[in-house]
Structure 1
Amino acid sequence: FVFLAHVAGRRRGQAEREFTVEVEAIGRVRHKNLVRLLGYCVEGAHRILVYEYVDNGNLEQWLHGDNGPVSPLSWDARMDIVLGTAKGITYLHEGLEPKVVHRDIKSSNILLDKRWNSKVSDFGLAKLLGSDSNYVTTRVMGTFGYVAPEYASTGMLNERSDVYSFGVLIMEIISGRCPVDYARPPTEVNLVEWLKKMVSNRDYEAVLDPKLPEKPSSKALKKALLVALRCVDPDSQKRPKMGHAIHMLEVDDFPYRDVSLAASFTSLSSSQSGHLCIRVRRNGQSRCIRV
């Protein structure tokens, strides 16, 4: 698999140095849920990244392509893809020094093998973040619909930006919908806002991809939705780290109390005991409901 890029302008020399440093660092990455970078080439304004070949296409094709009325991706397969992707991103954020912020987590960058194992690919936009840095300021890159709002507005990038994109990806996997779809009614164009509204109305099953071969249990669906919503919290500091997201996805005895969320949904947070809290507002007062 080959990724091509083009750099022009007076900053070409600096861009070449940054590109070489970052690609050499990424080239040392080894993880079963990351596509291996085999090599690269710099020639003038052109950049080439060469990746290992993964033989079952990408997640976007299987979610949105013409694959018949019933998806080959079962609920369990989708959750395995979510978990594998989370483990790959966690390794980038927490297993390396300097850490790697991918900057373009999306379904087309999740490659799948014949057993539906996921591999995060395309590090062409990745940035390195040292342990002494809380963020790096960079030109806003990424894909519309997946980009964290604070990064889009300020250019300040850190690993929480990837967490937001991962949350959008979970929603996409659950619903089979694109993050932004102008073919849908105005209230459904933005996947994040639509799904928040559906959850606040307790209309959980209506968010499921109609092509799913079978429905998940109510408990499994609610767990996945809550993890996704936590990851897209508008306050980046309230988003979980990827390691915490993995813990929430893997725990079997996920405590969920079926409560009415007809009140306005504001945010999700984590209590000291590790439970999830949905913060709602009723009669002008805000309170946290533990789930």
Structure 2
Amino acid sequence: MMSRKLLVFLFLITFLFKPISFLASAENVTFDFHSFTLRNLTLLGDSHLRNGVVSLTQELGVPSSSSGTVIYDYPILFFDQDSNTTASFHTRFSFRIKNLNPSSFGDGLAFFLSPDNQTLGSPGGYLGLVNSSQLTKNRFVAVEFDTRLDPHFGDPNDNHVGLDIDSLNSIKTVDPSSQGIDLKSGKHLTAWIDYMNELKRLRVFLSSSDSKPQNPLLTVDIDLSGYLREMMFVGFSASTEGSTEIHLIENWSFHSSGLSPVRHPHNVSDSSVTIITDIHRSSSGSNHHKKLALGLGIAGPVFFCVVLSVFGYISLRKWKGARTEKNLKAEFVAGPRQFSYKELMSATRGFHSSRIIGHGAFGNVYKAIFMSSGTIAAVKRSRHSHEGKSEFLAELSVIACLRHKNLVQLQGWCAEKGELLLVYEFMPNGSLDKLLYPESGHGMSLSWCNRKNIAVGLASVLSYLHQECEQQVIHRDIKTSNIMLDGNFNARLGDFGLARLMDHDKSPVSTLTAGTMGYLAPEYLHCGTATEKTDVFSYGVVVLEVACGRRPIEKEPYSQKLENLVDWVWGLHTDGRILEAADKRLNGEFKEEEMRKLLLVGLSCAHPDSAERPSMRRVLQILNNEADPVFVPKRKPSLIFSCSLTVEDIVSDDEECQRASVSHDEDHMKDSASQV
């Protein structure tokens, strides 16, 4: 508090001697991405970032169906209620649409404005803008660059640009071949989209160079004021259906205009000024003033130096306590906000036990209700701030930069009062293990459709973490209790406290083994080497849990011996009875071929030999019927380890990380013991 007062005091001194006019931040927005990073952008679906370029769809050598979106993180004001004014906007971007297989093409990309920052539609002719099952749900204004003829939406041909409003039936289209442009040529193309609210006119320019053409390709006289809501998000989407078309956004600039900034001049009221009158102008008074001025001239700088010294001393004393918070701020990109401790205390009713919705090695998870906004969040609170610091920092450094529809979204953080807190979006359906193994035994059972969707969603996010991020992310703790379910029972992976970042071309690093028994790959237990294939093993166990409704380690009903889920399913596969592993609570309400495929995918991922496990990208292709399943031998192979690592090699992390990992492992061991 003392340092704050000093800051205020110094500010007031500066303020009084230097009149200022304060200018409110303008409502008009400008940004320019010469190349892309994860800062200020949200990637949804199959979109990913590589070498500063956003790819909206999957880069696969085999035909696939894909859908992806990239959105600017912050909403933009397009309508000012006070002045009843709608903004004009101008955007410029360069893109390429190319094909690995020239005979395979479709479906195109779109620039859009939407009130929703989670816009992700279906693959195929829906351009990632519209959900195939809810065609009228999404609201948007979009300019499409379509590369497939889809009669269902009234497309004129397989090479056109059109304006879409809340529907993929374009208001007006034009063929760019009239200007010698083929959208799917793979060439670098630049587009300019200008909307002038004064003229009620939208124009689209397109060129194969970086020079803006004199004449527009598409002109539409339209008043968008009825469609541009107060706050809107801007971004790009694209899709494919059984093709190898790739949609790349190379750079992007945007500018809104027409909304006048509000100027707030600094006003000094009469009551704030004290006028001193009746000043004597005698010579003695003049001498007195000279002495006073001399005294002030000497005392002023001295006083200022004293103030600075006191301020520096106090700041130095507080530096150590504030070090964690400063480090955290340095780690962050723009996006997750910093919550105050008071705010989180109030939202969780003082971290009351009635608000606990989960437990973990990090600590308790609380349900937080923010009365001011009416929103709900989940707050993870460190059990021991000192011991949990390494996991806290690890989770922040990893997840703050990740964007995927199957990740639990980080909303903010707090490091005050010796507390370490993470704020996540609230998942109304809790964790996967709670639905697979309800405590009462009579809880709601997940349908087969939900289970398939969970397996696909988890495969999608792991493929993103392993192969599509700038640095490879190894989660190291994939299990059903770390997989959350949103309102639509979509899988959301969370808890990155044990995650590690790795360069894609670097060898795996040996660390102290941490995780949960039953999910740990054999080579990880023996050698302590965490790789993407150790995550694949854990995924395989989770998939078998989802299909079978059994825990990784359970007691046999008669002998009370511990039985491993992977061994049990593999034994049924050996006997040709693998479908008998299906969860009895499904009552046979599933397609046998789909169940067989999921069980075999689980076994292939849980193969004892890590070299035989498929990549998560291959798993995703198999589940989406885009690749053939991996062969699974009838008998479970045995594996002999020859590990030359010493104990010193394995325990290579610093002491703090070791303590956190040991604590994490012990907690999970206790959890496993209580489960069996």
Under a length normalisation based on structure 2, what TM-score does the superposition of the two structures give? Answer: 0.36
Q: Match for residue 2 of structure 1?
A: 379
AA partner of residue 207 (structure 1): A
AA partner of residue 2 (structure 1): V
Q: Residue by residue, what CA displacement relative to the aligned partner does 1:189-215 show, whole Å, maximum 9, x if unpaired?
A: 110111110111111232111111443
Q: State the 1:148 CA deviation.
A: 0.9
CA distance in 2, matches of 1:155, 1:255: 29
After superposing the two structures, state which structure 1 stretch, 77-86 or 126-135, moved more.
126-135
Change (3 A) 1:197 1:2: same
The answer to whether the aligner puts 1:198 opposite 2:575 as a matched pair is no
Change (3 A) 1:266 1:152: closer
Change (3 A) 1:217 1:121: same
CA distance in 1, matches of 2:525, 2:620: 26
The answer to whether the aligner puts 1:73 opposite 2:450 as a matched pair is no
Asked if 1 retains the 8 angstrom alpha-carbon contact of 2:601 and 2:629, the reply is: no
Q: State the 1:234 CA deviation.
A: 0.8
Q: Match for residue 147 of structure 1?
A: 520
Counterpart among 578, 581, 591 of residue 217 in structure 1: 591
CA distance in 2, matches of 1:232, 1:256: 12
Q: Structure 2: where are the runs of 5+ without partners?
A: 1-377, 639-676
After superposing the two structures, state which structure 1 stretch, 142-151 or 62-71, moved more.
62-71
Change (3 A) 1:244 1:67: farther
Asked if 1 retains the 8 angstrom alpha-carbon contact of 2:608 and 2:637, the reply is: no
Asked if 2 retains the 8 angstrom alpha-carbon contact of 1:70 and 1:211, the reply is: no
Q: Structure 1: where are the runs of 5+ without partners?
A: 268-291
Change (3 A) 1:178 1:127: same
Counterpart among 475, 485, 503 of residue 130 in structure 1: 503
AA partner of residue 202 (structure 1): G
Counterpart among 45, 50, 63 of residue 436 in structure 2: 63
Q: Which has the higher strand share?
A: 2
SS in 2 for 1:181: strand
Q: Match for residue 208 of structure 1?
A: 582
SS in 2 for 1:119: strand
Change (3 A) 1:71 1:234: same
SS in 1 for 2:435: helix
After superposing the two structures, state which structure 1 stretch, 73-82 or 129-138, moved more.
129-138
Change (3 A) 1:63 1:19: closer
Q: Which has the higher helix share?
A: 1
Q: Match for residue 538 of structure 2?
A: 165
Change (3 A) 1:59 1:25: closer
The answer to whether the aligner puts 1:33 opposite 2:410 as a matched pair is no
Counterpart among 49, 54, 61 of residue 422 in structure 2: 49
Q: Rg bigger for which structure? A: 2
Q: Residue by residue, what CA displacement relative to the aligned partner does 1:221-273 show, whole Å, maximum 9, x if unpaired?
A: 2211111111011111111110000011110796799x994xx3438xxxxxx
Q: State the 1:149 CA deviation.
A: 1.2
SS in 1 for 2:412: strand
Q: State the 1:3 CA deviation.
A: 2.9
The answer to whether the aligner puts 1:178 opposite 2:551 as a matched pair is yes
AA partner of residue 405 (structure 2): K
Counterpart among 250, 262, 266 of residue 637 in structure 2: 266
Q: State the 1:42 CA deviation.
A: 4.9
Asked if 1 retains the 8 angstrom alpha-carbon contact of 2:548 and 2:583, the reply is: yes
Q: State the 1:218 CA deviation.
A: 2.4
The answer to whether the aligner puts 1:85 opposite 2:458 as a matched pair is yes
CA distance in 1, matches of 2:613, 2:532: 10
CA distance in 2, matches of 1:251, 1:245: 10
Change (3 A) 1:134 1:72: same
Change (3 A) 1:252 1:95: closer
After superposing the two structures, state which structure 1 stretch, 202-211 or 42-51, moved more.
42-51
CA distance in 2, matches of 1:155, 1:44: 36
Asked if 1 retains the 8 angstrom alpha-carbon contact of 2:579 and 2:596, the reply is: no
SS in 1 for 2:411: strand
CA distance in 2, matches of 1:130, 1:253: 27
SS in 2 for 1:243: helix
The answer to whether the aligner puts 1:239 opposite 2:613 as a matched pair is yes
Asked if 2 retains the 8 angstrom alpha-carbon contact of 1:3 and 1:124, the reply is: no
Asked if 2 retains the 8 angstrom alpha-carbon contact of 1:69 and 1:211, the reply is: no
Change (3 A) 1:254 1:76: farther
SS in 1 for 2:543: helix
CA distance in 2, matches of 1:81, 1:134: 31
CA distance in 1, matches of 2:461, 2:629: 26
AA partner of residue 235 (structure 1): D
AA partner of residue 93 (structure 1): H
After superposing the two structures, state which structure 1 stretch, 157-166 or 199-208, moved more.
199-208
Which of structures 1 and 2 has the larger relative contact order (alpha carbons within 8 angstroms, sep 6+)? 1
Change (3 A) 1:180 1:43: farther
Asked if 2 retains the 8 angstrom alpha-carbon contact of 1:87 and 1:246, the reply is: yes
Change (3 A) 1:59 1:21: closer
- Tell me the C-alpha RMSD between the 2 structures: 2.9
Q: Match for residue 284 of structure 1?
A: none
CA distance in 1, matches of 2:540, 2:593: 18
Q: Residue by residue, what CA displacement relative to the aligned partner does 1:112-139 show, whole Å, maximum 9, x if unpaired?
A: 1121111011111111111232212111
Count of matched residue positions in the alignment of Structure 1 and Structure 2: 259
After superposing the two structures, state which structure 1 stretch, 164-173 or 70-79, moved more.
70-79
Asked if 2 retains the 8 angstrom alpha-carbon contact of 1:72 and 1:213, the reply is: no
- What's the % identity of the aligned pairs? 38
Q: State the 1:98 CA deviation.
A: 1.2
